[in-house]
Structure 1
Amino acid sequence: MGGEIIEGPMLDPDKTSFVAYFPLPVRYGLTIGELAQFFNAEDHIGADLHVITMKNWHRNYFFESTGLKWIPPSPALRTAKGSVLYPGIEILQNSGVSVGRGTQAPFEQFGAPWMNGDDVAAALNERHLPGMRFVAQSFIPVGGPYSGQRCGGVGIRVTDRFAARSMRLGLEIAEILQRLYPKEFDTAKLVGLVGNADTVQQILAGVAPEKIIASWSDALSAFDQVRRKYFLYK
């Protein structure tokens, strides 16, 4: 996912959990070693921590730049491309949408039995989101939500990883599904994975995605200044 781009709202302090340990944005732009240093200092852990740095890695590298074989960090994260989309697509799962778990392309598609993929893909393409385009495609998950059911869905094609913003995508999808399928799409349940109540309230209120993103700006700028103290790579 690279080490330059940060996205999303900051985690509310009362939303910490097994999958959200410390107040961070959804996409925080740190390597695992840098993140360990961040936690050790900012959460006052005080461990005798030693991080062995990599050679020849740069912050603008995506995983494919390393030439290494992709090893899934989680069973559903099967591809490097899926990892780029994951931050914005996974937030939808609690709201009644399959995010492709149980298929060959998790996080590269989303859908539900109640969804018309043509309508949703057309609405997304009308937004002209940088680095992405969308095609209607149905799928039948063999596990996870809607296992064994045909889902009308949308496939996500990443055309420029550097331009693509997955959290912007997640907001756009949520806005479209809330508008087209208000009875089926449970917007309020986004909060469990977004981790920020104000963001979800803005979606519920119909605030435009670009305005929601602007509301994150000050907190992201402050976080960016802190995270830079723990950079190990340029």
Structure 2
Amino acid sequence: MMLFLFVATSCGNNASSKNSHSPAVSPSEIAPIEVGANRTAEYLPLISDKRVGIVANPTSVIFRDGKSREHTHLVDSLVKLGVNVQKVFAPEHGFRGTADAGEKVKDGKDPKTGLPVISLYGSNRKPGPEQLADIDVVVFDLQDVGVRFYTYISTLHYVMEACAENNKPLIVLDRPNPNGHFVDGPILNPKYKSFVGMHPIPVAHGMTIGEYARMINGEKWLARSMQCPLQVVACDNYTKDMPYDLPIKPSPNLPNAQAVNLYPSLCFFEGTNVSEGRGTEKQFQVYGSPDLPETKYSYSFVPKPNFGAKNPEHNGKLCYGEDLSKNGRLNRIELKWLIRAYNNTAGKSAFFNKFFVKLAGTETLQKQIEDGTPEKDIRKSWEKGLETYRTVRKKYLLYKES
């Protein structure tokens, strides 16, 4: 089993250079993507004689090879290799991934390895000095989905800040962004900074988590403009336009590639009275509400408690809406479903809740929808901010994009 650890010994690109690409070849000759965790020759020498803390969840794995989905967990593998892992830090949903969205993750002990697990979701979002005192280096390996309100990049921020404050080096093992092929959405207004939006970026930011770490450092977004001692172990054979179907779901309610691709568009419904499919088998692939009329929506569903949603919105109620599970791959954020749902809701004053502005990162989007602003004009209002962001973003990219 531990042979899984040594399949990735060749050098690819690193944190300070772009991927190199061969002349045009047939798809069958293109080398498979190699995630940062698989490139063990790059990071084992950096941690082999160190006391290590690892920020990890179920996606933190080493694959048998670039084409197989067989894997071992990073923490389990390093422990078996004799690496001195001191503890695990767990983000939203927990280390082994059993917690609902928004559910407090508790400290504990991992039953498989016996390692202490420190929660970074709840009252303690940043490792404290006492939690880093027995650690020489922190390894960060989480599969992100490229969306501002997906909280793993907020956890990244606080881990970087803790490392900067305590002079601990951070190694980020990079993974592809399944939504890395587009940049879209309104830019966050710092007035609405929260754990679901910490930085002035668009909803779909178009960066891997390793690139994003470089941006946090480079733009001096950490407290007191501190710099984190950072090294990124980049993916190999990856470009941003490559479709990437996540081998392991990144959280309980993103079960497949369709849900991940629709997430930047449908998550806005969490700031409304409309369900985005939690409590069904099609999370983030359907939307609906008891307040939407049957006469205008042929699809219906009834949310019920399930894994990842112990008490889903509209629990046990018949909801009318749309099934988007067969929708084609999106290359931008779609607002048409949100606008249509608002326009078809009789009690419009109860449609939005306070969470919507946090998700949007601005109060403008809600006002535009309430005022009946056409989608094309809403999108036009994003253009200047997106242009500025793309210019800044270029400085931190590690991978080629079309």
Regions of 4+ moved over 4 Å: none
Residue in 2 that maps onto 1:124? none
Q: Paired residue for 1:172, among 333, 336, 357?
A: 336
Q: Separation in 2 of the partners of 1:51 and 1:89?
A: 31
Please say if residues 184 and 203 of structure 2, whose CA atoms lie closer than 8 Å, have aligned partners that are also in contact: yes
Q: Separation in 2 of the partners of 1:204 and 1:35?
A: 33
Q: Paired residue for 2:230, among 49, 52, 73?
A: 49
Corresponding position: 1:228 with 2:390: no
User: Which residues of structure 2 form unaligned runs of 5+?
Assistant: 1-177, 306-310
Please say if residues 268 and 338 of structure 2, whose CA atoms lie closer than 8 Å, have aligned partners that are also in contact: no
Q: 1:44-75: per-residue Cα shift (whole Å, max 9, x none)?
A: 331110000111111102222xxx62x22222
Identity across matched positions, percent: 31
Q: 1:90-119: per-residue Cα shift (whole Å, max 9, x none)?
A: 111221011011211111001112223561
Q: Amino acid of the residue matched to residue 242 of structure 2?
A: Y
- What SS is found at the alignment partner of 1:14? helix
- What SS is found at the alignment partner of 1:37? helix
Q: Separation in 1 of the partners of 2:397 and 2:328?
A: 25
Q: Paired residue for 1:75, among 248, 252, 259?
A: 252
- Which deviates the most, 172-181 or 193-202? 172-181
Residue in 1 that maps onto 2:352? 187
Residue in 2 that maps onto 1:217? 383
Distance 1:55 1:152, change over 3 A: same
**Counterparts of residues 5-44 of structure 1 (less than 5 Å):** 5-42=182-219, 43=221, 44=225
Q: Separation in 2 of the partners of 1:117 and 1:138?
A: 12
Please say if residues 287 and 322 of structure 2, whose CA atoms lie closer than 8 Å, have aligned partners that are also in contact: yes
Residue in 2 that maps onto 1:141? 304
Q: Separation in 2 of the partners of 1:159 and 1:217?
A: 26
Q: CA deviation at 1:160?
A: 3.4
Q: Paired residue for 2:278, among 97, 101, 122?
A: 101
Q: Please tell me whether Structure 1 or Structure 2 has the larger radius of gyration of its CA atoms.
A: 2
- What SS is found at the alignment partner of 1:216? helix
Please say if residues 2 and 61 of structure 1, whose CA atoms lie closer than 8 Å, have aligned partners that are also in contact: no
| Cα-Cα RMSD | 1.9
Q: CA deviation at 1:215?
A: 0.5
Q: Separation in 2 of the partners of 1:176 and 1:2?
A: 24
Please say if residues 196 and 358 of structure 2, whose CA atoms lie closer than 8 Å, have aligned partners that are also in contact: no
Q: Amino acid of the residue matched to residue 240 of structure 2?
A: R
- Which deviates the most, 214-223 or 186-195? 186-195
Corresponding position: 1:62 with 2:243: yes
Q: CA deviation at 1:193?
A: 1.3
Q: 1:114-138: per-residue Cα shift (whole Å, max 9, x none)?
A: 22356147xxxxxxxxxxxxxx242
User: Which residues of structure 1 form unaligned runs of 5+?
Assistant: 122-135
Distance 1:117 1:39, change over 3 A: farther
Q: Amino acid of the residue matched to residue 138 of structure 1?
A: F
Relative to its length, the structure with more helix (as a share) is 1
Q: CA deviation at 1:28?
A: 0.5
- What SS is found at the alignment partner of 2:233? coil
Q: Separation in 1 of the partners of 2:363 and 2:230?
A: 34
Q: Separation in 2 of the partners of 1:188 and 1:209?
A: 21
Corresponding position: 1:84 with 2:249: no
Please say if residues 272 and 351 of structure 2, whose CA atoms lie closer than 8 Å, have aligned partners that are also in contact: yes
**Higher RCO (CA < 8 A, seq sep 6+):** 1
- What SS is found at the alignment partner of 2:241? coil
Q: Amino acid of the residue matched to residue 221 of structure 1?
A: E
Q: Paired residue for 2:365, among 199, 213, 231?
A: 199
TM-score, with normalisation over the residues of structure 2?
Answer: 0.50
- What SS is found at the alignment partner of 1:17? coil
Please say if residues 278 and 313 of structure 2, whose CA atoms lie closer than 8 Å, have aligned partners that are also in contact: yes
Q: Separation in 1 of the partners of 2:295 and 2:398?
A: 45
